[in-house]
Every structure is written in C-alpha cells, then in structure tokens.
Structure 1
Amino acid sequence: PHGGHCWGHVSSIDLVHWRHHPPALTPTPDSPEVGIFSGNCFVNKKGEATMLYHGVNAGNCIATSSDKDLNIWKKLPNNPIIPNPPPGSPYASWDPHGWLENDTYYAIFGGTRPAIFKANELDKWEYVGDLFAHGIQGVDINEDVSCPDLFKLGNKHVLVCISHRLGCRYYVGEWKNEQFYPEFHEKMSWVDNAFFAPETLEDNRGRRILWTWIFDGLKDETLKARGWSGTMSLPRLLWSGEDNTLRMCPIEELSILRYNPRRLDNFTIKADSELCMKDIYGNSFELNIEMIPNSADQFGVKVFCSPDGEEQTVIFYDSTDKKIKIDTTNSGLGEGPKSIEGGPFELRSDEPLNLHIFVDRSVVEVFANNRQAVMRRVYPTRKDSQNVLLFSYGGDTKVKFIEAWDMTPSNPY
C-alpha cells in the first residue's frame, strides 16, 4: 500500500537550529512508487530545485519545485524516469545522485554494478555505462554503492557512499570521459556499518559539509517502545589534504551551543594512571584536548564513567595499532553496541594529539587532528555514569590543555 517511507523537510540559517516543514515527498495513490528512498537535490536548467530519488517498487523518479520555501513539489508525470530493469540488466534503477554539468544532466544509479545515466531533458534519460573505469585495491569493484554523492574537492573528485555491509566510505579520483577513475578508497565506519547514508552540500561560503545517518544499535522492540529511531551525525566540514585524502572537523557554528567554559593547562598524567576531571562531567558536553605522548602505548579520555568504573566509554590513541579508537565494551549494562571502533590514524614524530570530542547523551563523536573521525552510540544505565577521566598507559602523557563546555540543546524536545 501507499504511505511508506517519505522525505522529511527541515531548514536552518545556522546549521544548528532547524525548522520543520511539511514532508517534501510522500508516496500517493496517483504516483507509481509506494515509498521514497535515497536520492539528492540539484538545480536544473530552469533554475528549479530538482529531486532525483528512488521510488520503491517503481524505479528512479524526479520531482521539481520553484517554491521559494521548497514546500511544494511536482513529480514528473512520466515517473519513473528509468523503471526497475529485469534481472540480468547491466544496471539497477537504485539510489540515484544527479547533477547538471554544462548543458547535460548526469546521474549515478547505485547498486552492485553502479552505472552512469545522462539526459538533455529531465524526462529523457539514457544508459551510458559503468560508473567505475576500473577497480582499486582494498575494495571489490562490485561492492554495493548506495547513497552516492559525487563532488569536486580541491583538484580531485570525491565519491562518498555506503555499502550496506561496510557503512559509509569514500573514493578519491577523477570524473572524466563520463566515468569515475578511482585512485584511493577509505572507510568511514570500521567495526560495523553504524555510520551510514552520507549526504553533502556546498553552502553559500563554498564549504563542503557532510551529514550521515547514525544507527541506534538497539533491539527493534526497544525502538518501537520508545517511539522514535534515527539520529543524524554532527555536520562535518570536509576538505582535501596534501595527500588528497579527506580532512574533516566539526563546523564552527556548533560553538554557539557552548556555555559554562572550563580550562586546565600544562599537567602530566603519570604512566599507568587515570586522572578524574572534577569540574568536567555530565552527558552533554564538548571537549578539546591536546596531549603530548612520551612513550605511552595508549592514552586518551574516558567519558560516561561510573565512580567504580563499571560503566565507561574509552576514547584513545593506540600507538601500536595506529588507530584512534572508541571502546564501548563497558559503556552500559544493558543494550547497545559492545565493540571497539577504530579508524586508521598515525601520529607523526613529535606531533601532539588533538581530540575534539562531542558527547551528546547516546552519541559520542571524536575528531582527531582534523585527519580522522570515529563515532559510537552508547547507552549508560547508571545515573552516576557522569565522570570524565584522562589516562595514560605504558608511559607518561603531557596534557597541554583541556577545554570543556556544556552544550545547550539545539531543539526544544
């Protein structure tokens, strides 16, 4: 029946506080789809906002809007623009991403064999061929590409996407001759696929900003009982490093949520010890820490700590594995992911570690030296799991500074 998944609609002037609009796209009895899945929005030749989306049980579809608030959308009468093809076809009409290049519309159609389509008019599309010009080491060329988003960053093109198995990931390469030539591939979720479904935009300042969907990691019956599911990640600013890999940090606008600032400077954590931050605690705060290791094997910060250590979420640099990690093995006594997430990250010789950490009730996001980021969902069960501790194992660690702010809610709920 009609009435399944739809596209919500929110708007913001600061990327922090959001206004809810009526749903933008919904399945209706007079449209071919029974649900609205992933896609993107771009501006067409007439200057109209154009949504290219997957219509469930139909294929990829288009809707346009010339309404200044984007509240009114018109679906193309000939949707789907490309119906779901029969088995054995060289493409799937799945998870599209479209754009206007010169006078030609292009679109990526996702799937295990992602494809390129093009058109001169929005209702007349033709198959071009495979998206990828060749494979690349470290990932199968037939790895599922869903929620694709292709954009120019620096002097390269970046393709962010998911596979349903791996979660969020990205390629760096070149878009030319109507194909993508990948040169590098990296994951953005490692132990599981909980960092999912990326979307980016370029704002009016020319910044490339990324969001993702963060999985809950809870049982279905728990989600149904609480009546809601799904959380968006913090918006991340993306740019290209000298090595053409992604650099990332939280957007500067998040600082408007700060209050109750605290700071400590220049102290040392002795080897194999922990230090409780007496004035820093809670379940909704931002930390900025710079640490200089001596010979420590592991060092970092613990959040959501109970006084006896029964519950704790551990954020640290592992110098042996050369990863930035979040250990949620003991984050809660009940449900929630119990694992160690770890993103590849190596400190250079004499390079300090900068950890920019956002703790927001069940979400922990960590940014390391603007070169890597890791995320976890956590569900502490004890009311006294509020403490923050710094630690150093295997050697001393100097803390150049630690800054902390409480965070005010960005919405009234």
Structure 2
Amino acid sequence: MNKLFTLSLTSAQALAFAGCTGTSGDTQKSSAQASASSQANAPYAERYRPQFHFTPRENWMNDPNGLVYHNGEYHLFYQYNPHGNKWGHMSWGHAISKDLVHWEELDVALPEDQNYMIFSGSAVVDHYNTSGFGTKDNPPMVAIYTGHKQQPAKGQNQQLAYSLDDGRSWTKYQDNPVLDENMENFRDPKVFWHEPTERWIMVVALSTDYKIAFYSSPNLKDWTFLSHFESPASELGIWECPDLYALPVDGDENKTKWVLEIDLGAGEEGSVAGGSGGLYFVGEFDGKRFTADESTLPEHAEGPHQWVDYGKDFYAAVSWSDIPEEDGRRIWVGWMNNWQYAQELPTTPWRSSQSIPRSLELASYNGGLTMTQEPVKELQMLRKDQREVSNLTLTNETRSLEDWGVHGKALEMTVRFEPGTADTVGLNVRTGNSEKTVIRYNVNDQTLALDRTQSGEVDFHPEFPGVHVAPMPLEGGKVELHLFIDWSSVEVFGNDGAVVISDKIFPEPSSQGVEVFAEGGTATVEQLNAWPLKSIW
C-alpha cells in the first residue's frame, strides 16, 4: 500500500525539497474536486480543457519524463499524482501516441512506494542489452529516475526500472539505487547513449549547488563520475531537469554544436518572465565534459546563457530519446505551468497541460547561434478549412477579422506584417466580454510581447497577470509570427522559432474573436492564414 502523507512547508523549503517535481501541497483530493470530477458530463470538454495539448483525464500532472520512441510509439511519461489535483504522491503517469498529436492515456507506469516517490528522469531503449534486463531480440526499455525518500528521511538517488512489453508493465531493479551520493538534492537524470565513446552518459542536477554532474556507465547500472558544469552568473533559481543533445547548425548535419539545457525552479530571481523557466548553453561535449562556447552568444544575450522561452509557462522541457535516424529530428515538450501559481490554476478535475511538441535546431541569429523551436509538422493534421487575409492596410486602428471567418477557441495562425510607419503592430486573440490576449510587436524597441492582463480569469494568483517581453530583431523589414491558440493557452513563435513566448490564459468560452491592429502610423497585414483546429479527444 502506498504511504499517504501531507507536507507543510514554506515556499523556499518546498522548492529545496521538491526539486524539478515542484512544491508540495494537499495530497488528498478534496470532496469538491471529487464531486466536480464525478459530475463532469463531457470529459475532455470541460471549461479550459486544452483541445490539442496533452492533459490527463483527471488529477495533477507536472514535468514530462522518460520521453522515448519505441516500436512505432512515442511514449510520454510525466510526474503525476494519482490521488488528487495538487502536487503529491509523485509517480510516473503514462501516455502513448503514434503521431505526436493524438494521445492514449495508460495506467500509471511507476507508482510511488512506501520508501520512495518517483521523481523526474528519462528513458532509453537499451538496444545492445548492456543492462542484461532483456535480450538483443527484445531489448528492454529502461527508465532512469530519481527516487525521493519518503518522510521523515531525506535524500535523493538515481534508480532504474525496466519494461519488456513496450512500456505496459515495469519492474523496479532489485539493486536500486544505482547511483547514490548521499545528497538531499540530487535529481532529474537525463541518460543517452554516446556513440563516440560507446557508453551511457548521465546528466544530473545538483540542484542547490547550482551544478550539473556528468557520469558514464557501460551498462546503466554502474556509474563513474566524469565532471561538473557550473555557471555562477546563471544561478538565478534552483537548477533542475537538465538535458544535453547535439543539434545541426543552420540545417547542416555535418556541422553540429551541443546544447545543455537547464531549468530554474522559482528562486529569488528566477527565469526571464519570473518564477520557473529554462535557459541553455551552446558549446561542446567531448564525452566527459561540457564546455560552453560564449563566442556563439547572439547580441541580445544578457549573460552566458540564453532563455528557452520568454513566457511564464514552459518549464522542465525534455527531448525524446530514440527518434528514428531516418526522421532525424530532436523533439521536445515542456510543462505549461509555473511554480509560482501551479497549484492554483482554475481547472478541475485535472490540473496542468504539456506544450505542443517542438522540433529543435540551431540557427545563425542576431550575431550568434540560437536554438529555434518549431511546432512539429504532424500538428497540421488538425487543420480545418483555411481562412486567409491579405494586403489589409491598418492606420492607427484595430480591425476584427470576423468578416474573414477568423475566430475560435482553438486556432493555428501565421501572420506577416509590414510595419510601415507604425510604432506597434499585433493581434488580439480570444477577444470578447472585455477580454483579450494581446500579442504586440514594438518596432522601435524591436521586442515582441504577450500581454495577458485582460485575458480572462487572472486574479486567482497575484503572479499570474503580466506582460512578457522578448527581444526580436526586425528581419527583412517584416514581422512574422506563428501562433497556436487553445482553450487555455497561447504559444507564439517569432522569427522562425528563434523567439518563443508560451503562456496560459483562462478566457470565457465565448471569447473567440481575433483582431489585428497598428498604432502610431500605417502598417499592412501582408498575409494572414488561420486554421481552426480539430480536437485530439
């Protein structure tokens, strides 16, 4: 039987305790939540339920874990509370997809036990059966995760579980833990096979020491310390959920650089938009040590790192292992939430969603190299009939696009503005009932902003309303944006994904309008394409 318990911690204590899995909260589902769940007449159609982002049918979810592709299926594991709508009883939930778009939720893969909660980690396919858990004909899927000791003990270590039936059932390794440094904050292992050295590499966070540790292993069981990475100028919040991968530069598969991504728990400073978020370094990895290459930093970089996302709701992102070589993409997904208000989102019977999957590359940008994120092409299968607006002139005005049939709660849009003499151009989305979410480009400052102060229900937490701003140079005299709007989120990709802003919103269901605007002069909407999107449910 799982051990049930309740934690009562200050915010700082909770962050130090919880790490990438986040702060603690009530671990029992309230009677009101249970009632709301049982009375739901239309599962997956509740108020604010995302229609093309993954959410569990019910209960709390946070970090994506163990993303791996195997036998034609994309596996999405995630931090999950099987017993309630707030953080607690951390286990690995599990969903699968054949197309990165439609998801089938399966049974809990790795439940907590009386000794450990199951914190964040990764999964791999052990093709050479180095672990001995399977055979070469039936290689095991191996999950590598942090075991968090149940109270009153403290401490975190790295453990294994394996599956021989495509992730449907799991066996915890009898000799766990496989790596224990007797530390209280030692978590979130990302493991991958390093072909040049023919061994496994583990990247793991020493969270309150602001360090990333690298280990190697021949068999996933026996680990040897290699090196540390630290960057004092980037100690803006507790370090968590690292990932490390090589990306092609400007699409050239023969020219690659390594990216070390690190997430920040909410700290004194936190991420660029406040609270939790992610940053990354571009550099080299020689099989033992990662070295950041500051010569690759673009002009807009404010430190030795760059920001993953300029919104408040993209955290703990992790990339898929074992994507087929013929595909060749590096694809990841992040948790759309922020630890400042994560447990207060006004949703039931579920809480939290994952982002849309995004494909990653490195591109020459603004005098350096920037990691670009593009929505995966598979999302295009959700498009309904296209709506189009072209050569629309705006002079100090806001125009509704209702006459062009552009409206809705779930939309994909691409838009290209020619700013002309205007100081500002942009869009208002999910408008209605005195509500709007504003995407604004400031020509003089060359910044892109998302303003959700009037986006609907915003007063459930004081840190939720706000304006989130990203530097975005004007390229070729045009402003080009790619937007995904769901029932409770907006994701904006600018300059071919070099700039991303991801934010939750909670508008009235009836707020479905879209407007374009220009301020301070005359601008042109050269081309706007919009597609209402089908539900994945």
Unaligned runs of 5+ in 2: 5-88, 130-138, 150-155, 249-255, 272-276, 298-304
Question: Where do 4+ consecutive residues of structure 1 move more than 6 Å?
Answer: none
For the pair 1:10 / 2:10, whether they are aligned, the reply is no
**Structure 1 pair 260/54, CA: closer, same or farther in 2 (3 Å)?**
same
Matches within 5 A, 1:142-291: 144-154=238-248, 155-165=256-266, 166=271, 167-176=277-286, 178-183=288-293, 184=297, 185-190=305-310, 192=312, 194-201=313-320, 203-204=323-324, 205-215=327-337, 220=343, 223=346, 226-242=348-364, 243-270=368-395, 272-278=396-402, 279-291=405-417
Q: Judge conservation of contact 2:311–2:503 (CA < 8 Å) in 1.
A: no
The secondary structure found in structure 1 opposite 2:261 is strand
Q: Using the alignment, how far apart are the partners of 1:156 and 1:333 within structure 2?
A: 42
Measured after TM superposition, the shift of residue 191 of structure 1 is 6.2
SS in 2 for 1:78: coil
Describe the SS at the equivalent of 2:100: coil
Is residue 191–residue 339 contact of structure 1 (8 Å, CA) maintained in 2?
Answer: no
CA offsets 1:183-204 (integer angstroms, 9 cap, x no match): 2521124464x31110112632
Q: Taking structure 2 as the reference length, what is the TM-score of the superposition? A: 0.69
Q: 1:24 aligns with which of 90, 106, 109?
A: 109
How far did residue 60 of structure 1 move?
1.2
Separation of aligned partners in 2, 1:341 and 1:107: 34
- Cα separation, 2, equivalents of 1:287 and 1:21: 32
Q: 1:344 to 1:12 in 2, by over 3 A?
A: same
Once residues 450 and 524 of structure 2 are traced to their aligned partners in structure 1, the CA distance between those partners, rounded to angstroms, is 21
Greater shift, 238-247 or 227-236, is seen at 238-247
- Partner Cα distance (1:109, 1:221) in 2: 29
CA contact (8 A) 1:107 1:117 kept: yes
The number of aligned residues is 392
TM-score by length of 1: 0.88
Shift of 1:362: 0.7
Q: Which residue number corresponds to residue 72 of structure 1?
A: 169
> Residue deviations 1:333-380, cap 9 Å, x none?
5536210112221113x3322211111011111111212111111112
Equivalent residues of 1:82, 1:93 under 8 A apart: no
Q: Distance in 2 between matches of 1:41 and 1:372?
A: 29
Measure the CA separation in 1 of the matches of 2:193 and 2:341.
40
Q: Distance in 2 between matches of 1:176 and 1:403?
A: 44
Question: How many Å apart are 1:296 and its aligned residue?
Answer: 2.0
Cα displacement string for residues 277-301 of structure 1 (whole angstroms, at most 9, x for unaligned residues): 1121221111111111113221110
Deviations 1:118-164 (A, max 9, x none): 223322223233134xx38x524x85331111111011011223111
Q: Is the 8 A contact 2:429 2:436 kept in 1?
A: yes
Q: Quote the residue 2:201 is aligned against.
A: 106
CA distance in 1, matches of 2:458, 2:328: 44
**Aligned partner letter, 2:291:** Y
Q: 3-state DSSP class of the match of 1:396?
A: strand
Q: CA deviation at 1:16?
A: 0.5
Q: Which amino acid aligns with 1:235?
A: P
Matches within 5 A, 1:133-148: 135=231, 139-140=234-235, 144-148=238-242
Report the Cα offset of residue 86 of structure 1.
4.6
**Superposition pairs of residues 304-319 of structure 1, within 5 angstroms:** 304-306=430-432, 310-319=434-443
**Root mean square deviation of aligned Cα:** 2.3
Letter in 2 for 1:201: W
The structure-2 alpha-carbon separation of the partners of 1:178 and 1:215, relative to structure 1 and needing over 3 Å to count, comes to: same
- How many angstroms does 1:227 deviate by? 2.2
Give unmatched runs, 5+ long, in structure 1: none
Deviations 1:13-48 (A, max 9, x none): 11111122222211234xx42x11111112333142
Alignment match, 2:27: none
Structure with bigger RCO (C-alpha 8 Å, 6+ apart):
2
Aligned residue identity for 2:225:
Y
Q: CA separation in 2, counterparts of 1:36 and 1:51?
A: 11
Cα displacement (A) at 1:398: 1.1
CA distance in 1, matches of 2:310, 2:493: 15
Match status 1:303 vs 2:401: no
State the partner residue of 2:121: 39
Are the counterparts in 1 of residues 481 and 495 from structure 2 also a CA contact under 8 Å? yes
- Contact in 2 for aligned 1:188/1:343 (Cα 8 Å): no
Per-residue CA distance 1:77-134 (angstroms, 9 max, x = gap): 12111235257xxxx53111112223322211202222112223322223233134xx
SS of the residue aligned with 2:234?
coil
Give the Cα separation in 2 of the matches to 1:26 and 1:300. 46
In the alignment, what sits opposite 2:140? 48
Rate the CA distance shift 1:191–1:400 in 2: closer, same or farther, 3 A: closer
Distance in 2 between the 1:51 and 1:322 partners?
44
Contact 1:218 1:335 in 2 (8 A): no
